[in-house]
């Protein structure tokens, strides 16, 4: 399979693509050396009608996109930077505002894959920051493209240092005690876990994902947090997820607010 796009596929590049393709037979995988963002390429493929499950990955990104307009630091060869095109049949119980549950499912998948391959036990911070020792080792974003969801997954694997601006917030599997993770193994585990969690979402429905997330995240209930909204900062204690998978925070005056977006941080 030849890669299309801004940069040529590395031949015998840092990731062993032959290994990955051999273990994911039939899967469309485009892997690049350096791109601006795998999200843009995956979105174009989705518009062109690529099959669900298509993977776009890169060794490094020049303009990796994070949530809330942040840049995702994408050091060449140090992380796993990939976008997966998901075409999910809707479950009858999927709420109209269904995206948050898909976000939760992706977080669960990455948490599970890191646990399996790195033997570490990350926490999840709503909606899907993956944390080790309170710092982010992986981030996920999801973007709608027609009838597809583009799942963007970034995992810090081999970094030993981060730029000063994010060094208090970011960590890697290596820093947290798993220096020998093979990115190929992690990639396979992530893809398989994403498939599994998406199957749970589409077959058992959103409530199954909400329950799993509630069990797997110390942030969902009883956690004092601050949430920056456009117009104000909400501070209070988390008290579960609503039907759609949005986080509910009870402020000190007893008022419950549903968090639709915004960075959740420990208070
Ligand atoms: C976050 O801010 O937590 C989400 C980060 C998502 C980063 C990944 S890396 C692969 C994909 N391509 C991008 O440009 N962003 C996502």
Q: How far is ligand 1, taken at its centre, from the CA of residue 138, in Å? A: 9
User: Of ligand 1's atoms, which has the minimum distance to the CA of residue 74?
Assistant: 9
Q: Using one digit for the tens of pLDDT, what is the confidence trace for 114-130?
A: 999 999 999 999 999 99
N- to C-terminal Cα separation, the chain: 49
Q: Which 3 state secondary structure label does DSSP give 94?
A: coil
Identify the residue whose C-alpha is closest to ligand 1 atom 15: 65
How far is the CA of 111 from the CAs of 125, 164, 224, in angstroms?
Answer: 11, 26, 22
User: In the numeric block, which tokens belong to residue 50?
Assistant: 């690529």
pLDDT value of position 94: 67
Asked if residue 60 has its Cβ within 6 Å of ligand 1, the reply is no
User: In the numeric block, which tokens belong to residue 246?
Assistant: 């949005």
* Contacts of residue 263, Cβ cutoff 8 Å, sequence gap at least 6: 67, 68, 227, 228
pTM: 0.93
Q: How far is ligand 1, taken at its centre, from the CA of residue 251, in Å? A: 31
Helix (H), strand (E) at residue 112: helix 99-118
User: Of ligand 1's atoms, which has the minimum distance to the CA of residue 36?
Assistant: 14
Asked if residue 106 has its Cβ within 6 Å of ligand 1, the reply is no
Q: Using one digit for the tens of pLDDT, what is the confidence trace for 135-165?
A: 999 999 999 999 999 999 999 999 999 999 9
Lowest mean pLDDT, pick from 6-20, 96-110, 212-226? 6-20
Asked if residue 169 has its Cβ within 6 Å of ligand 1, the reply is no
- Distance from chain centroid for Cα 80: 11
Q: How many CB atoms lie within 10 A of CB 17?
A: 20
Q: Grade residue 262 by pLDDT with cuts at 50, 70 and 90.
A: confident
């Amino acid at each position: 399979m030849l890669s299309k796009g801004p940069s040529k596929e590395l031949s015998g590049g840092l990731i062993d693509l032959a290994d990955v393709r051999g273990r994911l037979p039939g899967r469309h995988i485009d892997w690049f050396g350096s791109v601006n963002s795998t999200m843009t390429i995956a979105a174009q493929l989705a518009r062109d009608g690529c099959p669900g499950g298509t993977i776009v990955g890169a060794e490094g990104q020049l303009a990796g996109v994070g949530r809330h307009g942040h840049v995702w630091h994408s050091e060449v060869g140090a992380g796993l930077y990939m976008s997966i095109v998901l075409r999910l049949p809707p479950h009858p119980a999927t709420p109209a505002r269904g995206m948050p549950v898909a976000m939760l499912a992706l977080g669960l998948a990455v948490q599970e894959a890191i646990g399996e391959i790195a033997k570490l036990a990350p926490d999840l911070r709503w909606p899907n920051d993956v944390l080790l020792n309170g710092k982010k080792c992986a981030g996920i974003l999801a973007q709608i493209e027609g009838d597809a969801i583009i799942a963007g997954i970034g995992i810090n694997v081999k970094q030993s240092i981060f730029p000063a601006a994010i060094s208090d917030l970011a960590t890697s599997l290596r820093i947290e005690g798993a220096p020998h993770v093979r990115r190929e193994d992690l990639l396979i585990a992530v893809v398989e876990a994403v498939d599994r969690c998406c199957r749970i979402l589409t077959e058992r429905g959103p409530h199954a994902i909400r329950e799993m997330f509630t069990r797997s995240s110390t942030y969902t209930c009883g956690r004092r947090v601050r949430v920056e909204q456009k117009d104000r900062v909400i501070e209070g204690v988390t008290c579960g997820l609503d039907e759609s998978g949005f986080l509910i925070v009870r402020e000190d005056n007893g008022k419950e607010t549903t968090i639709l977006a915004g960075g959740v941080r420990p208070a």
